[in-house]
Chains A and B, each alone.
Chain A
Amino acid sequence: MTLTRLLAGAALSALLATAAQAQTYTIGFSQVGSEGDWRPAFSRNMQEQAAAYGVDLKFADAQGKQEEQLRAVRAFIAQDVDAIIIAPVVVTGWEDVLQEAKDAEIPVFLVDRDVDVADKSLYATRISADFNLEGRLAGAWLAQESLRDCRIVEMQSTTGSAPAIERKGGFEAVIGQFPGMEIVQTQSGEFTTEGGKRVMEAFIKATNNLEGICAAFAHNDNMQLGAIQAMKEAGLNPGEDVLMVSVDYVPAIVTAMEAGDANASVELRSAVAEFIYPVVTGYLENPTELDKWIVIPSDLHVAN
C-alpha cells in the first residue's frame, strides 16, 4: 500500500519534472555592464524573473567592452543555449558573431540598444524602448512648458552610443519645429553623475551663470543629478530658474522631482523582463517571423 503510493508519488514527480524540463529554456544574456542605476536594475529584473518564465538564464557582464561581449556570445554558442539575448555595447561590428549564431541555429534577441547590420535576418527581433521616442517626449514636454521659446543646454550620453544618437535625434526633431528653440551648448557627460556635474560646471561658466538658458536636457538621470549639484553649488535654482528634463526615471530623480530640483523624466523601464521573456519563449515554442522591432512603451513623468 505504502509502496504503491510511494511509487505513484515517484512516478508523478518524475512526470512533473519532465514537464517542467520540457518548458525550461537555457538562455544566454550578454549585458553591457553595470554602469549607473538603471542597468543594474535591468539585470536584476532579468535574473529575478527568469524562473517565472521557465528560463535558465546565463548572465554575462561585458563591462562596457564589445570584445568581452563577443567572447560571451561565442561562449553561449559553444554551450549550445536555446537562445541568446544581447544588450549591445555599440551598434557596429556584429555581422560575424550574429552569423555564427545563425549557423548554429540559435535565435538572437536584441534588447535595449540596436545593432547596425545589413542582413536583418541575423536576429529574430529587437525588444526595446524607443530612444528616439524618449527624446521626442522630452522635447515635446519642453516645447509645451517653455511656450516654444527656449535656449537649451544638453548633456549627451557617451559619444557615438545609440542613446546619444537616438535621444538627441528625437529631441532635435521636435524642437526643430520651433524657431524659438535651440540647443546652445552640448557636451558628453559619459552617463555618470560625475560627468554631468563637470559638464554643467563648464556650461555655467560658458553661459555666464546660465543667463538666458531656459532648460537643461540630459540623456540620463545620473548626469542630470550631477548637473543639479553643480547648479546648486553655483547658487542657481534648478527646477525653477532652469527647466530640468532627463530620461530614465530612476529613484534618485524621483526624489529630486519631489524636492522641486527636477521637472520631468521620461521613464525607461528597468522591469522589462515581462516584455522580453514572453517574446523569446513564444518564439522558441513556435518560431514564426517577428516584427524586427517590438517597442516597450515609454512614459513621461512630470513633477507636480
Chain B
Amino acid sequence: MAKSAMLPKINLVISNLLDANKGLKAVIKKELADHLSGKRFIILSSLIVVTCLAALYVAASTIRTSVGQNELDFVFLKLFTTSGSSLPFSFISFVSFLGPLVGLTMGFDAINGERDRGTLSRILSQPIYRDAFINGKFISGVIVLTIAIFGLGFLVAGLGLLFFGIPPSLSEVLRIITYLITSIIYISFWLSLSILFSLLFRQSSTSALAGIAVWLFLAIFAGLLAGMVADGIYPVTDSSDVDRILANSRLKQNLSRLSPSTLYDEATTTLLNPTIRTLGPVLLQQTFGAIKGPLSFGQSLLLIWPQLIGLIAATLICFAISYIIFMRQEIRA
C-alpha cells in the first residue's frame, strides 16, 4: 500500500523537476544518443577495455602463483590492484590514468563545438531554459560514464569469478561498488573541467589541449612539485629531527591533495586494500597496541570520506563555474 502511494509521488517529483528544467529531457536524450553512437566513445572505450583486460590477465596470473604463499584474504580485490612483471600497471592505475582522458574527450567541445557548428544559437532560440542545455550535457555525460564504468567493473569482476571460482564476500562487493562510484565522480570532475575549458576557449582544439595539459600536470608533475615545495620550506637532512620530517611529509601530502588525482588515488587504494589503516605518516609508537588485521568496509570509508567529499566538491565547483559563465556568455556565433 505504502509502496504504491510512493510511486506516483516520485513520478510527480520527477515531472516537476523536468517542468522546471524545460527541455532538459530532450537535451539529455540527444546527448546520450550522441555519446553512445559516436566514434569517439567507441574508440576510447575499446582502448580502456583492452588495457583493463590486459591488466586483469596479468593480475590473474600473478595472483595464481602468489596465492597460498600469503594470506588468502580479499583475493577478489587483488584482481583490481595487482600488477605483474610483464605489465607494471594494475587495473586501478589504468583507470586512474586513462579515466581523465575519457572525461576530457567527452566534454572538450561540449559548448564551443556547438558554437562552431552554428547549432548553439538555434538550440537556445527554442523555448528551453538556457541552463537545460549545459545541465543536459553534464548529466548525459555522467550517465554515460556510469554505464561505462559499471560495465567495465562488472566485466572484470565476472571474469575474475571465472578465473578463480571464488565468489567475492559482501564487503568486497561493497568495496568494488564504492570504488566504481568514486571513479565515476573522479571522471565527472574531468568532464566538468573540460566543459569549463570548452566555454573558456573558442577553439575546441585549444580546449582539448588545455585539458590534456592539466591532466599531465596533475598526473605527473603535481606530486613532484609538492615535494619540491615541501623540501624548500622544511629542508630535511639525515640529522633532522622527527618534527621536521613529519612537517615536511605532511606539507607534501597536503599540497599534493590539492590535486583531485591524489585524492582519487588515495581513495581507491584505501578502498581496495583493506589493510591500509591510515593515509598520513605514522609514528611507530602510534601503532603500538594496534591489532593487526584488515579494516572493515565502514572504517575504510570513514578513512577516505574527506577524499570523497573533496572530489565531489571539485567536480561541483568546476561545473558551477561553467554554469555561471555559460549563463552570462554571449550567444552570438
Real binding pair: no
Residues of A whose CB lies within 8 Å of any CB of B are: none
Report which B residues bind A (CB closer than 8 A): none
